[in-house]
């Protein structure tokens, strides 16, 4: 049941993100979709408050998946403030902002839940969403005065057939499977099983998110230019897979925080790079379609990762799901190594 609830968030994004990206490119507008994202976020919080049963919680989680689909328009609009060749730098910067928001939200929610109960967290989230929706009206959406015909449906096959987009989309499925099996999935449940309280869960989130944000900040600026994009992505997958494999063998809350801090840094190495690469070689007026495809595809990882892990946990306990997550991370590292070798031997270029 936990797998279904967690997976519904990704399932809605599978359905919505790609059509949303196409519509955004057709209308050549990003801002209205961002406003819609905040509105559905507030609605999701309201459903969480009103309904506590399985169906209600699943519906609320699905509604927040609709909200997260607005990330398509958000990332493309933000990237438009940078020159085209700086897409990975833009995604690194916005990833830091995103992780900061996640850190504040998830960290504060632990304190709020400890003081006033679980429902209070959704009151805070709903009010924050409404404030964010109000701020949206001050967003600047560039209109350069140059007429460009809207993106046509016949352009879609060429966009989604881009080799780089396909490769990073597949890798991102695997990356998000690991993320939603671990910190956004079953790691907090495992922490509770070995004695964590609500306040400790906040500390666990902070331990994961702070290194994650730091890695996202420096990856596109420092690490990838020095060591190479593929090598950085592969290293992130290897470390993340190993840290995930260690979780079920760890019965100390202190050691769990340490391993998940390393895991957070590792996942911050590859996630921003993959997102930036998905649009770097795509024309500006078609980027929402490419980003929508990319995010819809990786949403499959948000859904399938926790769903499969939940099924494994049902038979083998929480440890089985983490071993599965580790295997997924190492598979991603193998694929990255293969494509890295192809870059060297056949002149393949990112």
pLDDT tens per residue, range 154-186: 777 888 888 888 999 999 999 999 998 998 889
Three-state SS at 246: helix
3-state helix vs strand vs coil in the chain, percent to 5: 85, 0, 15
- State the pLDDT at residue 217: 84
- State the pLDDT at residue 345: 45
Res. 143: pLDDT tops 70: no
pLDDT tens per residue, range 180-214: 899 888 998 899 998 888 778 878 888 998 899 89
Q: Confirm if 232 and 324 have CB atoms less than 8 A apart.
A: no
Lowest pLDDT segment from 119-123, 140-144, 235-239, 280-284: 140-144
pLDDT tens per residue, range 71-127: 888 888 888 887 766 766 777 788 788 878 877 887 788 788 888 988 999 999 999
pLDDT bin (cut points 50, 70, 90) of residue 343 is: low
Class of domain 2-137+161-346: mainly alpha
Res. 344: pLDDT tops 50: no
Q: Give the mean pLDDT of 315-335.
A: 92
Three-state SS at 189: helix
Q: Give the mean pLDDT of 132-153.
A: 71
pTM of the model: 0.78
Mean model confidence pLDDT for the chain:
85
> What single string gives the DSSP state of each residue in 104-130?
HHHHHHHHHHHHH-HHHHHHHHHHHHH
- State the pLDDT at residue 110: 78
C-alpha count within 13 angstroms, C-beta hemisphere, residue 154: 0
Contacts 24+ apart (CB under 8 A), 85-89: 85/280, 87/276, 87/277, 87/279, 87/280, 88/220, 88/224, 88/229, 88/272, 88/273, 88/276, 88/277, 88/280, 89/220, 89/221, 89/276
């Amino acid at each position: 049941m936990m797998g279904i609830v967690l997976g519904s968030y990704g399932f809605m994004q599978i359905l919505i993100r790609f059509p949303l990206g196409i519509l955004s490119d057709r209308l050549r507008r990003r801002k209205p979709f961002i406003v819609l994202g905040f509105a559905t976020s507030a609605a999701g919080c309201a459903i969480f408050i009103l309904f506590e049963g399985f169906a209600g919680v699943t519906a609320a989680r699905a509604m927040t998946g609709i909200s997260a689909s607005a990330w398509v328009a958000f990332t493309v609009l933000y990237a438009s403030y940078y020159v085209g060749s700086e897409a990975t730098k833009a995604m690194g910067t916005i990833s830091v902002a995103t992780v900061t928001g996640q850190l504040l939200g998830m960290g504060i929610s632990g304190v709020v839940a400890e003081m006033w109960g679980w429902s209070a967290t959704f009151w805070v989230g709903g009010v924050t969403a409404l404030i964010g929706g109000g701020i949206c009206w001050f967003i600047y959406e560039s209109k350069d005065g140059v007429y460009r015909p809207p993106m046509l449906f016949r352009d879609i096959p060429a966009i989604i057939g881009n080799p780089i987009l396909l490769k990073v989309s597949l890798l991102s499925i695997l990356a998000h499977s690991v993320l939603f099996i671990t910190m956004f999935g079953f790691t907090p449940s495992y922490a509770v099983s070995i004695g964590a309280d609500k306040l400790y869960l906040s500390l666990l989130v902070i331990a994961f998110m702070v290194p994650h944000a730091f890695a996202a900040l420096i990856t596109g600026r420092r690490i990838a230019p020095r060591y190479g994009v593929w090598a950085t992505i592969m290293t992130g997958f290897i470390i993340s897979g190993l840290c995930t494999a260690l979780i079920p063998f760890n019965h100390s809350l202190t050691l769990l925080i340490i391993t998940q801090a390393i895991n957070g840094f590792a996942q911050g190495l590859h996630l921003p790079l993959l997102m930036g690469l998905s649009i770097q070689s795509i024309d500006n007026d078609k980027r929402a379609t490419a980003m929508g495809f990319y995010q819809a595809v990786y949403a499959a990882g948000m859904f399938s990762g926790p769903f499969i892990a939940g099924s494994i946990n049902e038979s083998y306990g929480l440890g089985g799901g983490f071993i599965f997550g580790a295997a997924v991370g190492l598979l991603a590292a193998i694929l990255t190594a293969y494509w890295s070798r192809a870059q060297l031997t056949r002149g393949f270029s990112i």
